[in-house]
Chains A and B, each alone.
Chain A
Amino acid sequence: MENLRIFFSSTDEIHNASKEIPNPKIGCTTAGEIHNGLKAGTVCMELDSNDFDTEIIKITRTDLPIIFSEQILIAAKKIEQKKKNLICLVLNDGLSSSEERVQSCLSNILPSKWEIIGGSSGDGLRMKETYSCVDNDVFKGAIVLLIGTNLDYYINKENIYGADKDTKNKTAVVTKADDRIVYELDNMSAVKRYAELLGCKENAIQDHTFNNPFGTFSEGEVMICSCKSVNSDGSLELYKSVVPSTVLWKLNLLDYKKIMENTTEEILRKGKPLFTLTFNCILRSLLFKNDNAEDFVSSQLKKIGAFGFTCYGEQYKGLQINQTMITLTFYKK
Chain B
Amino acid sequence: MLKDKNDFLKLENDTFSSNDADHNYDVTYCKRIIYDILQKNIKDILDSDTVNNKFILNMEQKSTEFGWKINELKNIINKNSDEIIKIFDKLKGKIEFSNSNVGELNENFDKLYESIEVANKDMSNIITTFNKLNDEYYEMKDITNSINQITKQIKLLSLNASIEAARAGEYGKGFSVVASEVKKLSKVTQDKNNNICESLNKVSDTINNLSKVIEYNVHTLKNTSSLIVQAKSKMDDISLSYEDSMKCVDEAEEKAYESSQVSDHATKVLNNLITYYEDQIEMASKLTQDSQNKIQNYISIINLIKQIKIIEKENCNL
Q: How far is the CA of A246 from the CA of B16 in the complex (A)?
A: 24
Question: A109, B37: Cβ atoms under 8 Å?
Answer: yes
Chain B contributes a number of interface residues (CB within 8 A of A) equal to 40
Q: Is A100 an interface residue (CB 8 A)?
A: yes
Neighbouring A residues of B304 by C-beta, 8 Å: 66, 104
Specify the main secondary structure of chain B where it touches its partner: helix
Q: How far is the CA of A291 from the CA of B17 in the complex (A)?
A: 40
- Nearest CB in chain B: distance from A74 CB, A: 12
CB 8 Å contact bits of A297-330 with B (1 = contact, 0 = none): 0000000000000000000001100000000000
Question: A243, B298: Cβ atoms under 8 Å?
Answer: yes
Question: A66, B30: Cβ atoms under 8 Å?
Answer: yes
Neighbouring B residues of A218 by C-beta, 8 Å: 292-293, 295-296
Chain B residue with Cβ nearest A98 = B16
- Nearest CB in chain B: distance from A253 CB, A: 22
Chain A interface size band reads 35 or more
Question: A177, B303: Cβ atoms under 8 Å?
Answer: no
Q: How far is the CA of A96 from the CA of B16 in the complex (A)?
A: 8
CB 8 Å contact bits of B266-304 with A (1 = contact, 0 = none): 000000000000000000000011011101101110111
Specify the main secondary structure of chain A where it touches its partner: mixed
The verdict on A63 contacting B299 (CB below 8 Å), with A108-B41, A220-B289, A244-B3 known, is no
Q: Which of B1-41 contact A (CB under 8 A)?
A: 1-3, 7-8, 10, 13-18, 20, 23, 25-26, 29-30, 33-34, 37, 40-41
Q: Is B118 an interface residue (CB 8 A)?
A: no
Q: How far is the CA of A137 from the CA of B10 in the complex (A)?
A: 35
Instruction: From B67-75, B240-248, B306-314, give the one contacting chain A.
Output: B306-314
Neighbouring A residues of B15 by C-beta, 8 Å: 96-97, 179
Neighbouring A residues of B2 by C-beta, 8 Å: 244-245
Question: A175, B23: Cβ atoms under 8 Å?
Answer: no
Question: A104, B289: Cβ atoms under 8 Å?
Answer: no
Chain B residue with Cβ nearest A319 = B296
Chain B residues close to A by CB (< 8 Å): 1-3, 7-8, 10, 13-18, 20, 23, 25-26, 29-30, 33-34, 37, 40-41, 288-289, 291-293, 295-296, 298-300, 302-304, 306-307, 310-311
Chain A residues close to B by CB (< 8 Å): 60-67, 69-70, 96-98, 100-101, 104-105, 107-109, 173, 175-179, 216-220, 241-247, 318-319
8 A-B pairs whose Cβ atoms sit less than 8 Å apart in the complex:
A61-B18, A62-B16, A63-B310, A64-B18, A104-B296, A176-B3, A243-B299, A245-B291
For the complex of A and B, list the 4 residue pairs with the smallest distance between their C-beta atoms, beginning with the closest.
A63-B16, A245-B1, A104-B300, A67-B25
